Structure 1
Amino acid sequence: MHSIEPALDESAVPMLERAASIGVWRLALAGGGKLSWSNQLAAIHGQPPGYAPPAQHACRHYEPGFQARMEQLLRACSVDGTPFDEEAQIVLPDGRRAWVRSLGEALRDEQGHIVAVQGAVQEIAPRGLRPGTLLRMGAALGSGEAFVTVDGNGQYSYLNEQAERLLGAGSPQLLGRRFWNSFQKTVRLRLEEQFRSACSRGVRLEFEELDAHLASWLEVRAFPFAGGMALHLRDVTSRRKAQQQLRLLEGSIARLNDIVIITEAGPFSEPGPRIVFVNDAFERRTGYTRDEVIGRSPRLLQGPNTQRAALDRIRAAMEEWRPARVDLVNYKKNGEPFWVDLDVSPVWDKERKLTHWVAVGRDVTERKLAEEKIQHLAFYDPLTRLPNRQLLMDRLHAALNDPARPREGALMFIDLDNFKVLNDTLGHQKGDMLLQLVAERLRSCVAKGDTVARLGGDEFVILLENRGDKPLEPATGARAVADRILAALGEPYVLPGYLHHSTCSVGVTLFSRSDRTVSELLKQADLAMYQAKGSGRNTVCFFDPEMQAVVSANAALAADMRQAWREKQFQVEYQPQVDVAGRMIGVEALLRWQHPQRGVVSPEQFIPAAEETSLIIPIGRWVLDQACAQIAAWEHRPDRAHLSIAVNVSVRQFRHPEFVDEVMQAIEQSGIQPHKLKLELTESLLADGIDVTIAKMGSLKEMGVALSLDDFGIGYSSLSYLKRLPLDQLKIDREFVKDILTDANDAAIARTVIGLAHSLDLDVIAEGVETPEQRDFLARQGCLSYQGYLYSPPLPVAELEAFMDRLAATEAAPA
């Protein structure tokens, strides 16, 4: 017969707990958490049988320096199932301390969810522990851990087999040697001091150091007892390397600008995978702290506009254990939405078991907003929110080519009158406000389905459709709309602190679906608008073929000018400038064009064309070189050396970025004294970019060049600008001189300009002086320099030289 050994009686468990000084505990997570202690665990803590603290105070019996660490371990085990094995001090009811080893692990249900945490506590250095007990403890640990004892001088007194194996030597070789001598020389003295201090105070000593003989890192935990210390030794080289790599990885991830979230590999269904790690960028960009999200589902970032289709793609990828990439709307802690370009990838262990999901999200909110803005800017003006040129062109193409559109229509080009004056006097901010008000009024003037667009600046275009089948109806309807526009835009505009009055000029061209191109229509409406401006502004003009003829004539003139420049048909003439005694003080250089077929072409014709075609740039430079060369020639003659030459500078020429350098180069090449060159600038330069104008004038002034303001009083000057300009002279325009004796207003203007010049310590000269009476009137007012047909018309160089010789002879003749 075989005897049957009886099974272990569960009543023996408490006896085993007492024998090993081990107590067990269990923390149920459901229902707010319930903590259970065995009686032996209560005894270890110095408490009566049946005692167990509330779950929220499970770690309160630990010494304060260990409480945070134990709470962290317990929380990690509860959330992601991380087991722990830690040694710590507990505080007994009488205030004494005891060392314990605490172990914990997670319990899961059939679905893999963590439902409880359980563990054990072993008293490893109880109060009153004797050396013999330590030796027995070392023997008991012999099957697992390296254990040694050292005396009060740090000399080995006992080693178990694991310690001998770990230290690479047997007890005969190690007994009597000081344990710190195996570590690096640089730390031996420090370890000795720490050891002796711990022994004298009876406190625990714990450190990790590199064993110089083994080239391995050892973890040492030392517990004091009477006459020495008990040491647990553990090779932690692999752990140290892993920790170092982990720190490098965590440091790198923490510094990423991209959001990083790591979750456990739980199912995607509710409650979903739980977050176990987030980096610094996550906290910065979401407003959540790590403590607020660890253990929670990433769903906390979702909101009302999070795309369901993107979430479904992530779900499908996770179910198939493959990566996914989506653009997703997430929400910050404060409820603010933000876009992320999200990459979600699975992580496997060595056994190809799925362990975690890693989500890396780049905040692309700015990019998304920029894409939306670009999409809007592609078709709408950002200031007025009207359709822009691109959308207008699309609608014009459709109006001309889409069979479903009406056969007749009208295109209107609208330009505000004197808009630049408003910008310069009140500033661009009020100018923008005016444009927004204009846009609103234009919308109110057209029917639904018509297009009001802004081309840029103060230019607007209206496309009128659905005007019927009869040819006259589009014209009648367009005229009615144009009249409404004139009336609406002529009403005062209430701007902050200012009531502004404005008008507009309107050009209209009619079209049918296939007779003209979009480009032709825009040109015709633009021409009609300029015709309206030329007719006095605040009016409407319809395009007719005569306008096209004018444009063609201007184009022919421009072509002739290019040929004239190539064939050197231009020449410079000079008109004398004299003082009140009739002595010549200088000349003005004037450009003339003798065309082989056209004859003499008026500067009033070809100068605007040169401006439009940019030919004024090379022509202006040529005139400047001619003037400097003439000054240089006169400097060698004593009777001519005092003469200056005034050169007109166009707006386009002055605004050229190389203009100042060109003036300097002309002066240096000719070798003249700079003050004999006078540049005459028109008031139109002050209409825009006044700061740049003043800066350029300052550079010319530093060279020594004289500066004169031409046509003063008819343009854009204001006292606020004038006092900032580094001028030498004001020039009274011929329009005021012509009727100065018969028109009281012209006389008053002339007196004002002369008085202003004197008050600003500037010279003043009048052009267009044709009679002695005009000269005498100007002289009485204080203007002592003149230019005009009273003295001489513009002359070629040879005739000018003869004129000056005659003038000199007259001055030399006896009275």
Structure 2
Amino acid sequence: MTNNRDKQTSEARFHKLFDDTQAMSIQGYRVDGSVVYWNAASERIYGYSTSEALGRSLYDLIIPHEMRDEVKRAVAWMFDNEEGIPPARLNLKHKDGTTVPVYSSHTVVSLPNDEPIMFCMDADMRSLEMAEAEVQRLSYYDSLTDLPNRRLMLERITSVTRNTTVESSFAALLIVDIDNFHSINESLGYEIGDQVLLNCAECLQRFSSSQDALARLGKDEFAVFLPCTAPSLDIAATEAEQLGEQIIRALKTPMLLDGRSHQVDACIGITLFRCPEATPADELLRQADIALKMAKRSNTIDISFFDQQMESSVKKHLEISQALNHAVENNELALALQPQVNAQGETVSFEALLRWQHPELGAVSPNDFIPIAEATESIISIGDWVLEKSCQMLAHWNEEKAFEHLGISVNVSSLQFRRGDFVERVKNILNSSGATPSKLRFELTESLLAEDIDDVVEQMESLRKLGVSFSLDDFGTGYASLAYLTRLPLNELKVDRAFVNDLGRHSKGALLAETIISLGRSMNLTVIAEGVETEQQFKRLQNMGCQHFQGYLFGKPSTNVKDYLPGKSL
């Protein structure tokens, strides 16, 4: 009697749990597909009341016509084998005919003296898809001016110059820099500075040929794209110079801000090129930037064109490329470690950042040599060196009780990752160093996901079996989507510093950061924000639910780890 009462109580508890849950649609079906259970969340997600659904067929209610045969086979298999199939993302049908994206899990419950029942548990993905769309939109536009950002401008240039139907036409790319803008921020405050930038953006829009031919590149720089319409290089140069002069005159028009009149000056760098264009868009941007630097250094000109005399940077590129081939064997590389802290400010791990000190070139910036290393494939040997040194550090720290909790995050190039022997390389380095795999984390960029996602997942799974974990770097600035996130065996999402720098109240950067943090936590991923430089940013991110933090507020990259662990020696 007691057992029956306990059983009834247990069943009542589970029924109440299933009935009351708002986050998960739970349905029960007989072998013929007829509905025997339909909770309140199912009513909300699919539009049918419980009374409407009970006794009806699964296939008539929520399965689109084109999916019915496949679903019937899957249901038959589950009942035959009395087990569920792997969970999947599905597009099912609402009562009103609209599509309902869900993440669906299935199981078959078979009890003695009772018919088997298939239970489906569906999580509504619509709100996440809306959040994803907002993340993607914000990652293409500047948060202050709502202009296209650098990424969208580069894509626009690539598309237009490659797909132009006018052969042997010429185009121009202009970079506009607001002179001494930092002094406006320092003397008048950031609110006035933001107003100046908004006024400049509004002014420049009058000279833009289309909505995405103008972009804010960052801080006080804007890019203007003059499309492929000029029949000759001379005409393109004339049109670009005239446009530049008009822009400078327009920007000099006094603006009234906070009851005071303000005037700004500008310098412009211009590069010209033929369409269709084989030169990468980021190289064209680099050329225009070189021309801009020449204009800023001059006391007599406001507009400068890129020309061959500025190609000293090409020579430097070659010099760096050749020197990189011997950087490892000549012991010129070093690792600087930047602390990653928890909400209490305690160091829990470090990011390993590569540094290169060349005897003749001096300290070479990673922004200069990493792209070259990837282009020349010297990143393979350099990447092995970074991994070996990082694992040696982990093994050394593990020998002392005070340091054994520390982990290291290592950036991995897509070129390294896509080599067929990368997993084996990692395994060998872990074994030879004696490092604990669980203390090693690989930071992957979203560009890695732009190619064969199945191969990426396969290698990540192999590495995860070794104990290595994964972080997705700069989420929201590249290719990743929720479809990828549901497949990748990730442990961590990293919020890009660009969003951390824009955490003002009601700013788009703050909205994007909060969305990413919410997405990460909803998928049981740790979220770390990089580029944290102020206590205000630290507190704001904590309030958003961020768990880990990295930035100058906690320490600059250093080769001396004990700087971040007072009183302890490594």
Based on CA coordinates, which of the two structures has the bigger radius of gyration? 1
Q: TM-score, normalised by structure 2?
A: 0.49
TM normalised by structure 1 equals 0.35
Structure with more contact order per residue of length (Cα contacts < 8 Å, sep ≥ 6): 2
